[in-house]
Structure 1
Amino acid sequence: MNGVHADDEMSRQYLPPPATPSFEALYNQYVDKVYRQCLAMTRDSEKAQDFTHDIFIKVFNKIDGFQQRASLSTWINTIAYNYCADQIRLARRLPTTSLADELGDYVPDTGEVLLQEETLQLVNQALASLAPAEQQLLRQKYEEGLSLEELADLYHIKLSAVKMRLKRSREKIQLYCAQHQPG
């Protein structure tokens, strides 16, 4: 079976790429990655599924505008990140109560779970204290898994600049966490 798969991969390398990929092919290739990104940002599987669906509608509607300055994967990830970030910002403006909030008094927490939640909350606060551009760069590197080279291409900056921006942003988060650590 592996031999057949390898032959398929090799033959694809020698075939010219299709002019416009079909929506189904794009969806099948990137749906898992987009869903994982949405889930990481929303921490809600239902929202992540809804967002993924909406993102692919946007991708399909904007595919003619894809200029190949970055890889297709990077382009789709950027659309996904921006869409999720916009939806999260919008949701913060509209107060809602989650089921977890409603059931919080009825679900017992262990000390370890509370410590993990406090740590996660502190890291999220530290991330929120950064400028939006710094947040996006960190998320694209560590949540979406973009390479340093992809980030350099995406932002039209040198590799060394990407490394320095990531380093400075990580240092800001570490400093924030050190200053706001619960006693």
Structure 2
Amino acid sequence: MVKSQLDNYARHNSTDEELVKLFLESQDNRYFEKLYERYSFKVYQKCLSLIKDASKAEDLTHDVFLKLIFKMDTFKEDAKFSTWLFSITYNHCMDLLRSNKKRVVTVYEETADLVDDYDILAVFEADEVNMQSLKHALDQLTLDDKALLFMKYMDDLSIRDIAKTFKLTESAVKMRLMRSREKLKRKYYEALLFQ
């Protein structure tokens, strides 16, 4: 194979971690572009789930990938790229929301996406969950509570990965997750009562 064919093969058949290594070694943007292709929509969805504004989520997605270019050399080879990227995404969104110190107006109202994209329903033992009440309950939670639940139930991150993101101990994450689940359940059942 000639070099261009090898490069093309490497871009399309490499793991995320291999693409990071190839990008760092060569500084060839095609490797970064492949990572962008794989993850831009997922990052956008994560931003949207926290920000609730489609145009801001787009801007934040671009910000995250710009930040990623400059942080790429801090990636640890034994880590999983997607976990690292989602950690950067959550931290970036949470920093923005904390700096605004106000609730963001919900512009995106697709409750159908909750069923398809979120596994947050795993918090409930019931077979049926009222999606409108669930959405209302989620809107009542703090940003930290939402982020914890999303990371655990939407992204299926391990307690260890969540602890690294929040810079907490694993036992602190377990305790906060338990409290966040209880708050969500309480808010959910309150919303059901007042329907």
* Rg larger in structure: 1
TM-score norm. by structure 2 comes to 0.58
> Of 161, 168, 183, which residue of structure 2 is paired with 1:172?
183
Name the SS of the counterpart of 2:156 in structure 1.
coil
Percent identity, please: 35
> Of 41, 49, 53, which residue of structure 1 is paired with 2:58?
49
Structure number with greater CO (CA < 8 Å, separation at least 6) is 1
Whether the 8 Å contact between 1:122 and 1:177 is mirrored in structure 2 is yes
> Of 86, 89, 99, which residue of structure 2 is paired with 1:77?
86
Other-structure match for 1:29? 38
> Of 116, 135, 138, which residue of structure 2 is paired with 1:120?
135
Partner deviation per Cα, 1:131-178 (whole Å, 9 max, x = no partner): x3x4432121234x1343xx42452666x9866653442123212444
> Can you give the 5+ residue segments of structure 2 that lack an aligned partner in the other structure?
1-8, 108-129
Give the letter for the 1:57 counterpart.
L
Whether the 8 Å contact between 1:70 and 1:153 is mirrored in structure 2 is no
Instruction: Report the Cα distance in structure 2 between the residues aligned to 1:67 and 1:60, rounded to whole angstroms.
Output: 14
Instruction: Report the Cα distance in structure 1 between the residues aligned to 2:43 and 2:74, rounded to whole angstroms.
Output: 19
Whether the 8 Å contact between 2:138 and 2:146 is mirrored in structure 1 is no
Other-structure match for 1:182? 194
1:40 equivalent in alignment to 2:41:
no
Whether the 8 Å contact between 2:162 and 2:173 is mirrored in structure 1 is no
Structure 2 counterparts to residues 1-183 of structure 1, below 5 A = 12=14, 18=22, 20=24, 22-68=31-77, 70-93=79-102, 120-125=135-140, 127-128=141-142, 132=144, 134-143=145-154, 145-148=155-158, 151-155=159-163, 166-178=177-189, 181-182=193-194
Name the SS of the counterpart of 1:51 in structure 2.
helix
Whether the 8 Å contact between 1:70 and 1:154 is mirrored in structure 2 is no
- Assess, with a 3 A threshold, how the Cα gap between structure 1 residues 59 and 30 changes in structure 2: closer, same or farther: same
Other-structure match for 1:111? none
1:54 is displaced (CA, Å) by 0.7
What is the aligned residue count? 151
> Can you give the 5+ residue segments of structure 1 that lack an aligned partner in the other structure?
1-6, 99-114
Deviates more, 1:166-175 or 1:30-39: 166-175
